Structure 1
Amino acid sequence: MTAVQDRTGTPAPAPRRRPNPVLALLRNSWRQLTSMRTALLLLFLLAVAAIPGSVLPQRGVNPEDVRDYYAAYPDLAPVLDRIGAFDAFGSVWFSAIYLLLFTSLVGCILPRLRDHVRALRMTPPAAPKRLDRLPQHAFLAAPAGGAEAIAATLRKRRWRVAVRGDEVSAEKGYLKETGNLIFHLSLVAVLIAFALGSWYGWSGNRLLVAGEDKAFCNTRQQYAETDIGPRVADADLPGFCLTLEEFEARFLADGQPEFFNARVGVEEPGRELRSADFSVNSPLRLDGANVYLLGHGYAPEIRYTDRNGRAQTSIVPFLTTGDMGLTSEGLAAFPDVNVDPATGERNPELQMAFEGIYLPTAPQEPPYVRSEYPTERNPAVFLIGYRGNLGLDAGIPGSIYRLDQRQVTTGKLTQLGEAKLLRPGEKWTLDDGTSVEFLGTRRYITLSVRHDPGSTMMLVSCGFLLVGLLGSLFGRRRRVFFRVGAAPASGSPTGSSSLVEAGGLPRTDHPGFADEFAALVAAIGDGGRAGTPTGVDGDTGAGTGRADQDRARTREGTE
């Protein structure tokens, strides 16, 4: 096949191949995705996408708050639910941003890591021909030993040195790029650790009341709130049981907490029953889970005796209202009382419930609305009785700590006269001959049981992230060059046979480089013992500048 020729006989250039538009689109898209600008944009979008998860109630954390949000905003809640706002961290859009950020970071880091490794293996570049054009410039007397002596001084100061005959090149400050890469690699490791925790981690909250009859075993059904990863099955939860044996709390005179400690009985498969202590800052560490102490309170024991003389006891935690005296509110419900002994049928209109306020240290005089101290110095419970249909048979989920006020407003529940203050051992006889008695209290603790397989990786990654950030912030890339045997200039030391011309170049913004260069030149000049440097150029350099040297050369040429 012969080449095509034009009229002059010169072969015409071969026609250029048109690039494949699909490959070009993919290549350009990959370049845009792996650019640092895109990575910063995705990081910003990830922070913005996390706002709904912090502002709006999340179904996996507190489904009751989601239900209350539906009741408060019936028009807005369905729209937010369709876009995944009540499950923000598991939504499609959050996962898409997360994966794109992960891909962008990997695409940014790998080429930079390759180039950085190549730069570390390369020797410093040769000195330029005109050292006087560098930001820092000086002449000094040649030390004994010449270029090797200069290289030895630089190596002592941890410079990477290359000697080429009478020229010495040195560079320093690779810590900046190393720290930058460590920072971004650590950020990728943080994202991986977060993904491991989201996929294979789980957590649950539980109120544990003292006593063997209130023991807790690690099953999903026994948690009040759970957040279990999509890759975790119920059978993957470790099998252990906890029993609250003792809880100790000490407070200062003003009610400020001083010390908390919980002692629990731990039963694990294949091990003997044992007791273990843990506190707020010292969790209980078990195989496959950590148990954290979040809070504590009181669970009043309230016994109700119905019309047939049958007694039932309620031991339900009363939730604290947030004051320093541990004032608590709760509900003692008795839906299975007043059963007809002849037929065995339960009349739903004769169910009983008592809303109450528990005061560990009740005031001596009314109003009995707030406890004066968080420990039980004068315990009392302030009860309001209700009779009627509690609405539990409808199958609608509800709180065990509050009475359904819809039953009261519709008249299905009737309040029984005035509220009553009971102290331990006191009994309240109602209008129908039934009675309610305050027996005392048990302590309860609030537990958070968690397993995060990425926590160790997250901790180590955050440590490296800080180290890399410090390196990238305080590392400064710079180079210096020395040429032995430079032509003597005006103002050179008297009697010096040869000079060393020095030049310095900061690769990044480094305000202190002029001082560092001057100190380095002085150290090498002292090694020669022939005098001080004849000229140091630069923004803050001392001695004669480049302009003074040029004027000196001009005068020499004129003479």
Structure 2
Amino acid sequence: MREWLRWGWAQLTSMRTALILLFLLALAAIPGSIIPQQSISPIEVMDYKAEHPELDRIWEPLGMYHVYTSPWFSAIYLLLFISLIGCITPRIAKFARDLRKPPPRLPSRLDRLPASATVDTPVDDALGIAEAWLKSKRYRTLRTDDGISAERGYLRELGNLVFHLSLVGVLVGLAWSNLGGFIGTVVVVEGRGFANAITQYDDFTAGAWVDTDALEPFSLRVDHFDARFETGRVQRGAARVFDAYVEVTDEGVTTDHLLTVNDPILTSGGTQVNLLGHGYAPNVTVTDGNGDVAFSGPVVFLPQDGNFSSVGVIKVPDGRPQRLAFEGFFFPTAVLDQDGPKSVFPDALEPELWINAWYGEPADETGIPESIYTLNTAGLEPVLGDGEERFRARMKPGAAFSLPDGLGSISFDGYSRWVKLQMSETPGNPVALTSLAIGTLGLCLSLFIKPRRLFVRLGDGVAVGGLDRSDTALGLEDEVSELAEALTKESE
């Protein structure tokens, strides 16, 4: 059993296994960039499941909607971590021993080396001249009565070790971010705010070390969001400006910030605020059958295409004597043709709100959360208009419609914009980024430093020889010739 364990450990800690695991880790990360991830976009996951039910039956058991926290991805990650540590540790010990050892013994026949030369003329103090030349080229030398052994290129192995240690540092940094960090998203309408508390998030994923009751105390308010699009004939509708004007209160100090897609805000406690997306929130007022305002305010609609044709649900559970609900379609630049209504430009040039209505008896509060983006029609009936057809309304800003049978009314008061913000803490990122920088330096050392040995032996003349310890090294013959030439010049 002990022999099997020793064999297994040797296989796991071999460089070949480490490379295979590194390749598998990169391969395992591919599904996370192709399949929507629950921690980043739960709405896209819902849409993906609805559109691909056959694939969903395969992906769900395999954990493809949360790839980076799945057991199989974590297993590869941990095995790679162990493999690298087991592979690097003995190499560090060997490198330390090599540094203490002097250059190798002087070969008896330098003419058998890959590159050699001979200076036939006796040279006074040949060893002193050769040693001075070698040290000027940063060689470590070992001088004996018969000649000199010289070696350089120790930093190549150091570069290799630094590179592999940096991979361990990257893994540590990523693990630290996963365990001690969090990522959450929230949709905030213009004029409204957000406080960094767990109950304020639409979606929140945290590591095992995160205390969700002690998140960094800061808040923000979205004062205004400015979106501009190309109006010319070339690239019409392409995004040109996405600017969110945000007021942040951090440690009791309120400051104004301009938040853009590639320029996040960093709070004093290390929380990063990113701008992920935006859309429209029609402002509506709903009056119930008793004549009371049962709902008033913006409702977030989700864009469905590049021209921001958006869908949303207006829920009025407090309507009396009947509760009301509306399924709506918002078109920023509305056009009605033979295919139906649609938006032909992403900016709100001709905004319209199209709705159909539902009503039903007031429902008991169950405390069970439900999505604000979908309507559960259980217990509801469609509102019927003339000719017993479904009631539908097409409204421009400022328009209002009364519902049949005294059920109430709805008005389209205008629209606001909303932004999707991502708050995240990744405490291991500095470690990972520093490790990457150090690893790049180590890789450069291992690629560009040439480990080489040169020898000088006294005899009837002076023999010079050398060999490279790397197959990719160049210039050995030239350096041997330069050393021989230096000795020849001294003999003249």
Deviations along 1:481-534, one digit per CA (max 9) or x if unpaired, are 1124x32xxxxxxxxxxx32111111120352445435533652564374xxxx
* 1:99 and 2:78 correspond: yes
- Whether contact under 8 Å (1:143, 1:149) holds in the other structure is no
Q: Which residue of 1 aligns with 2:103?
A: 124
- Mapped to 2, the partners of 1:428 and 1:435 lie a distance apart of 6
Equivalent positions of 1:38-437 (< 5 A) are: 38-50=17-29, 53=32, 60-61=39-40, 87-140=66-119, 145-211=125-191, 214-253=192-231, 254-269=236-251, 271-286=252-267, 287-311=269-293, 312-323=295-306, 325-337=307-319, 339-340=320-321, 347=322, 350-359=323-332, 361-363=333-335, 369-388=341-360, 397-404=369-376, 407=378, 412-414=381-383, 417=390, 419-433=392-406, 434-437=408-411
**Larger CA deviation: 425-434 vs 47-56:** 47-56
Q: What is the CA–CA distance in structure 1 between the aligned matches of 2:413 and 2:470, rounded to whole Å?
A: 76
Task: Return 5+ residue gaps in structure 2 as ranges.
Answer: none
TM-score by length of 1: 0.76
For residues 31 and 107 of structure 2, what CA distance do their matches in structure 1 show? 57
Amino acid at match of 2:398: G
Name the SS for the 2:343 alignment partner: coil
Counterpart of 1:103, as a letter, is I
Task: Give how far 1:226 is off.
Answer: 1.3
Structure 1 range deviating more: 163-172 or 276-285: 163-172
Give the structure-2-normalised TM-score.
0.86
CA distance in 2, matches of 1:224, 1:472: 48
- In structure 2, relative to structure 1, the CA distance for the partners of 1:291 and 1:68 (3 Å cut) is closer
The question of whether the paired residues in 1 share the 8 Å contact of 2:454 and 2:480 is answered with no
Change in Cα spacing, 1:331 to 1:522, as seen in structure 2 (3 Å) is farther
Quote the Cα distance in structure 1 between the aligned partners of 2:276 and 2:384.
35
How much does 1:458 deviate?
0.8
Structure having the larger proportion of residues in strand: 2
Counterpart of 1:427, as a letter, is A
Aligned to 2:432: 458
**CA separation of 1:263 and 1:509: change in aligned 2, threshold 3 A:** same
User: Mapping of 1:527-542 within 5 angstroms?
Assistant: 527-528=489-490, 530=492
Task: Report which of the two structures shows the higher radius of gyration computed on alpha carbons.
Answer: 1
Distance, in Å, in 1 between the alignment partners of 2:347 and 2:364 is: 34
State the distance in 2 between where 1:134 and 1:81 align. Answer: 62
Q: Distance in 2 between the 1:283 and 1:161 partners?
A: 55
Stretch moving more, 501-510 or 143-152: 143-152
Aligned residue-pair number: 480
Question: In structure 1, what residue type is equivalent to 2:213?
Answer: A
Aligned mates of 2:28, 2:472 — CA distance in 1: 37
SS, match of residue 334 in structure 2? coil
Note closer, same or farther for the CA distance 1:376–1:83 as it changes in structure 2 (3 Å cut): closer
Superposition deviation, residue 441 in structure 1: 1.4
Cα distance in structure 2, aligned partners of 1:196 and 1:415: 57
CA 1:431–1:529: 2 relative to 1, 3 Å: farther
Deviation at 1:472, TM superposition (A): 2.4
Contact map agreement 1:206 1:446 (CA 8 A) in 2 = yes
Higher alpha-carbon deviation: 37-46 or 215-224: 37-46
Residue 421 of structure 1 aligns with an amino acid whose one-letter code is R
Residue by residue, what CA displacement relative to the aligned partner does 1:406-446 show, whole Å, maximum 9, x if unpaired? 65xx9844565464332221222333353221111112111
Secondary structure in 2 matching 1:132: helix
CA–CA distance in structure 2, aligned partners of residues 73 and 378 of structure 1: 35
CA distance in 2, matches of 1:74, 1:257: 33
SS in 2 for 1:125: coil
C-alpha distance in structure 1 between counterparts of 2:140 and 2:237, whole Å: 63
In 2, distance between residues paired with 1:176 and 1:460? 20
* Residue type of the alignment partner of 2:129: A
Classify 1:172/1:428 alpha carbon distance in 2 versus 1 (closer, same or farther; 3 Å): same
Contact 1:243 1:265 survives alignment (8 Å): yes
Contact 2:271 2:425 in 1 (8 A): yes
Q: AA paired with 2:455? A: F
Structure-2 separation of matches of 1:142 and 1:432: 120
1:45-68 residue CA offsets vs partner (Å, 9 max, x unmatched): 434554565566655555666677
Structure 1 Cα separation of the partners of residues 384 and 156 of structure 2: 73
Matched to 1:273, the amino acid is T
Deviations 1:360-409 (A, max 9, x none): x33498877443443333333233333447989676654322334x65xx
- Mark the CA change 1:322 to 1:457 in structure 2 (over 3 Å): closer, same or farther: farther
Verify: 1:440 aligned to 2:414, yes or no.
yes
Confirm or deny that 1:524 pairs with 2:486.
Answer: yes
- Tell me how far 1:163 sits from its aligned partner: 2.5
SS of 2:441's equivalent?
Answer: helix
Q: Which runs of 5+ in 1 are unaligned?
A: 1-20, 341-346, 488-498, 531-559
**1:447-481: CA deviation from partner (whole Å, max 9, x where unpaired):** 11000010111111111222222332333322111
- Matched-pair contact (CA < 8 Å) for 2:186–2:422: yes
Q: 1:510 to 1:53 in 2, by over 3 A?
A: closer
Structure 2 CA distance for partners of 1:63 and 1:263, relative to 1, 3 Å: closer
Q: Percent identity?
A: 37
